[in-house]
Amino acid sequence: MSKDKSEDVLILYPGVNIDSSMLFHKTKIMLISLVSKDKDKYNMVEGGR
């Protein structure tokens, strides 16, 4: 289940402009999971902020 949700979030990162509020709203755990899987993706979101 967690894997499915993580994939959905990853797809949104590169295509859509997301705000930190949105990310936190989803769940802090998701962010941690993304960092562990793809640090670059998380970095992109932080920088685009």
Q: What integer is the mean pLDDT of 18-39?
A: 58
Select the more confidently predicted residue: 11 or 31.
Answer: 31
> Helix or strand or coil: residue 9?
helix
State pTM to two decimals.
Answer: 0.17
Q: CA separation (Å) from 2 to 5, 6, 15, 46, 49?
A: 5, 6, 21, 22, 25
Question: Does residue 18 carry a pLDDT above 50?
Answer: yes
Mean of the per-residue pLDDT values of the chain: 54
The pLDDT value given to residue 29: 52
Q: What integer is the mean pLDDT of 3-20?
A: 52
